């Protein structure tokens, strides 16, 4: 079996994210995670919320690690990763009650972020919820100097990366019928933004 990849930050932020997901996904059943990364979050959240069926997904290069976590977990409410590059992926329409994604919007290019929102709009049933964890700018401002530094580092690493303006994400969301309903502050100067899908026409 492949080694289970481990990210210290994902272990650290799991508990505060879980607290919010328990509230937001309380009446959900089917969840799609976009960009499952190491697979740690998926296993921690599916184990803690056994009313959910948790569908992992990511770029193919991360599948072996996610599978290792899923296989090792011994829990049966989690599914091995779907092949998912949001830039050209197709999803089954209207079948998910909730979508979760963590630390993806500042890694993907802005065009891919827009596509991620379009995908979420397709995947969710009306009334479904999208929770996105990560650092954001609000009102054109970073919430801390450390996030401004982080943004500069990201852009140096790759010009397409960078911390996103929550207002820009709201534009992408509104274009597919998603309305932001909450914006939680969580430790490490991050937030969880929550959008709800309206009726599909
Ligand atoms: C910083 S990692 C976050 C991983 C995990 N969600 C976490 O919080 O630990 C960013 C993730 O976004 C994924 N990603 C980047 N570009 C993507 C794309 N175009 N489509 C889908 N996933 C993508 C990466 O493969 C990676 O898993």
Q: Which residues line ligand 1 (CB under 6 A)?
A: 7, 10, 34-38, 41, 58-59, 62, 84-87, 102-104, 107-108, 112
pTM attached to this predicted model: 0.98
- Which CATH number covers residue 172? 3.40.50.150
Instruction: Give the total residue count for the chain.
Output: 201
Look at residue 1 and tell me whether its pLDDT is greater than 70.
no
Question: Average pLDDT, stretch 19-48?
Answer: 98
For residue 33, the enclosing domain spans 8-105+115-134+165-197
Confidence of residue 2 (pLDDT cuts 50, 70, 90): confident
Q: Is residue 140 part of a domain?
A: no
**Cα dihedral 14, 15, 17, 22 sign:** positive
Total domains in the chain come to 1
- The number of the ligand 1 atom at minimal distance from the alpha carbon of 116 is 20
How many whole angstroms from 104 Cα to the centroid of ligand 1? 5
Structure tokens at 143: 């919430």
Mean pLDDT, to the nearest integer, of 69-77?
96
* Distance from residue 61's CA to the centre of ligand 1 (Å): 10
For residue 160, is it within any domain? Answer: no
In a domain, 24, yes or no: yes
């Amino acid at each position: 079996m492949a080694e289970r990849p481990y990210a210290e930050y994902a272990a650290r932020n799991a508990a505060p994210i879980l607290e919010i997901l328990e509230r937001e996904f309380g009446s959900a059943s089917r969840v799609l995670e976009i960009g499952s990364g190491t697979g740690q979050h998926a296993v921690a959240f599916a184990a803690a919320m056994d009313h959910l069926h948790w569908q992992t997904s990511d770029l193919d290069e991360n599948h072996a690690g996610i599978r290792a976590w899923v296989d090792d977990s011994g829990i049966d409410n989690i599914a091995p990763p779907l092949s998912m590059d949001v830039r050209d992926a197709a999803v089954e329409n209207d079948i998910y009650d909730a979508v979760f994604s963590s630390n993806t919007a500042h890694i993907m290019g802005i065009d891919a972020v827009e596509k991620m929102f379009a995908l979420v709009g397709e995947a969710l049933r009306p009334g479904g919820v999208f929770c996105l964890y990560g650092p954001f700018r609000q009102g054109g401002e970073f919430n801390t100097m450390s996030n401004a530094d982080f943004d500069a580092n990201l852009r140096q690493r790759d010009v397409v990366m960078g911390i996103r303006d929550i207002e820009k994400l709201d534009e992408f969301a509104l274009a597919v019928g998603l309305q932001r309903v909450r914006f939680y502050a969580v430790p490490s100067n991050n937030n969880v933004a929550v959008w709800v899908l309206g009726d599909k026409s």
